[in-house]
């Protein structure tokens, strides 16, 4: 008896594309749809409706979507969300996207096929509207992304304000020019942070060119490499808003290696207020917010939807706080 894998082999498309055709998903090209339909006829494929019916049942499993598990912030966030889900009586499956839209799309397919009851989305390269069109009426809740709550319950931090606060502080200290480090500038969250960076410059009557923005700066090694590049120039930046504490730690190490005085020659602010902030020399200033509270708020909304309730999507934003330490 032919399977989906057989159809994928004969049609020359992926298994997930075959699944999308079988489920009448709109996001399939006409060419791929035609190839799949021809393969179905050639193989005389008959769908196992019993398997479909079994997938429609709840399995008390929630998928947690992160870009990378070896990123310290997302590892910590996944840990907190996992404990919160477990305390509420649910099993968890962690999905990594590696910043890939194809990988992210496959996770949405898994949701539609009832492999999980719901998704907790901590990062996306799609807009809220694009995700809605993919998941249709399935349950998704969002944290750590800057969606407006039009389609999904969204719990997080006002990222624009967070970056404004950090940038404004550096400019108040006389640090200029500044640079901004983002991990994925295609994401709504990073766009909001970049807006906050630019707004703070405008507030001070200063120009802010696109060349101030550095993309794909994700790890402590990325921060170190960028710092080595910046601090060997004739006119290094006077301040840096880093996208995470680990990137900031790498930048700080590079500044120390270049014999720059951190806080005097260059000021650095990180994000997330992780314990590494207390281990650097000098200690790192950082934007802080309560992840435990975010997880609890998110789980509360998720439980309502899993219980069949359908309240209007809610946007909950925490106020960020700048924790000043030795680096600024």
Q: Residues 177-236: pLDDT tens digits?
A: 999 999 989 888 899 999 999 999 999 999 999 999 999 999 999 999 999 999 999 999
Which two three-digit tokens encode residue 31?
């060419």
Same domain, 137 and 74: yes
pLDDT of residue 122: 94
The model's pTM:
0.75
How many domains does the chain fold into?
3
Average model confidence (pLDDT) across the chain: 91
Collapse the DSSP code of 219 into the 3-class scheme (helix H, G, I; strand E, B; otherwise coil) and give the result: coil
Q: How confident is the model at residue 53 (pLDDT cuts 50, 70, 90)?
A: very low
Same domain, 30 and 65: no
pLDDT of residue 57: 61
Q: Does the residue 328 lie in any domain?
A: no
pLDDT of residue 260: 97
The residues with which 157 forms a beta bridge, in sequence order, are: 318
Q: Does the residue 326 lie in any domain?
A: no
DSSP at 28? S
Mean pLDDT of 28-32: 87
Q: How far lies 31's CA from each of 13, 42, 46, in Å?
A: 10, 17, 22
Same domain, 187 and 258: yes
Q: What order do you get walking across the sheet with 91-96 strand by strand?
A: 91-96, 61-66, 118-121, 139-143, 153-157, 315-318
| H helical segments located in the chain | 4-11, 15-22, 30-43, 49-55, 72-87, 101-112, 128-135, 159-172, 188-203, 220-230, 245-257, 291-306
d(CA 216, CA 149) in angstroms, rounded, equals 27
Same domain, 35 and 114: no
Same domain, 101 and 131: yes
Backbone dihedral angles phi then psi of residue 268, each to the nearest 5 degrees: -135, 135
Same domain, 35 and 126: no
Which domain does 256 fall in, by range?
A: 159-288
The contacts of residue 175 (CB under 8 Å, 6+ apart) are: 238, 239, 266, 267, 328
Q: Does the residue 164 lie in any domain?
A: yes
Q: Does the residue 19 lie in any domain?
A: yes
Percent pLDDT > 90 in the chain is: 70
Is the previous residue joined to 177 through a cis bond, with omega within 30 degrees of 0? yes
d(CA 256, CA 263) in angstroms, rounded, equals 11
What does the pLDDT look like over 103-130, one tens digit per residue? 999 999 999 988 899 999 999 989 999 9
Start-to-end C-alpha separation, the chain:
67
Same domain, 199 and 258: yes
- The CATH number linked to 124 is 3.40.50.2300
């Amino acid at each position: 008896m032919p399977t989906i894998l057989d159809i994928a082999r004969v049609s020359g498309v992926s298994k997930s594309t075959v699944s999308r055709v079988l489920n009448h998903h709109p996001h399939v090209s006409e060419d791929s749809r035609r190839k799949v339909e021809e393969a179905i006829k050639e193989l005389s494929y008959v769908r196992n409706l019993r398997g479909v019916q079994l997938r429609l049942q709840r399995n008390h499993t929630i998928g947690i979507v992160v870009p990378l598990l070896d990123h310290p912030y997302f590892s910590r966030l996944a840990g907190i969300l996992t404990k919160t889900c477990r305390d509420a009586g649910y099993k968890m499956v962690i999905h990594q996207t590696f910043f890939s839209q194809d990988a992210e799309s496959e996770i949405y397919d898994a949701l539609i096929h009832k492999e999980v009851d719901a998704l907790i989305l901590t990062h996306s390269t799609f807009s809220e509207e694009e995700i809605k069109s993919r998941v249709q009426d399935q349950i998704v809740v969002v944290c750590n992304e800057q969606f407006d709550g039009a389609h999904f319950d969204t719990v997080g931090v006002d990222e624009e304000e967070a970056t404004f606060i950090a940038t404004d502080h550096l400019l108040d200290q006389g640090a200029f020019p500044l640079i901004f480090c983002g991990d994925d500038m295609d994401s709504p969250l990073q766009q909001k942070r970049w807006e906050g960076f630019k707004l703070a410059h405008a507030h001070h009557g200063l120009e802010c060119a696109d060349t101030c923005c550095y993309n794909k700066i994700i790890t402590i090694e990325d921060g170190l490499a960028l710092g080595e590049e910046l601090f060997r120039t004739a006119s290094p930046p006077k301040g840096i808003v880093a996208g995470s504490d680990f990137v900031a730690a790498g930048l700080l190490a590079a500044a120390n290696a270049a014999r720059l005085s951190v806080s005097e020659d260059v000021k650095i602010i990180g994000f997330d207020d992780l314990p590494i902030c207390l281990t650097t020399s000098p200690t790192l200033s950082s934007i802080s917010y309560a992840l435990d509270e975010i997880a609890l708020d998110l789980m509360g909304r998720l439980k309502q939807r899993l219980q069949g309730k359908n309240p209007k999507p809610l946007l909950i934003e925490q106020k960020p706080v700048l924790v000043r330490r030795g680096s600024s």
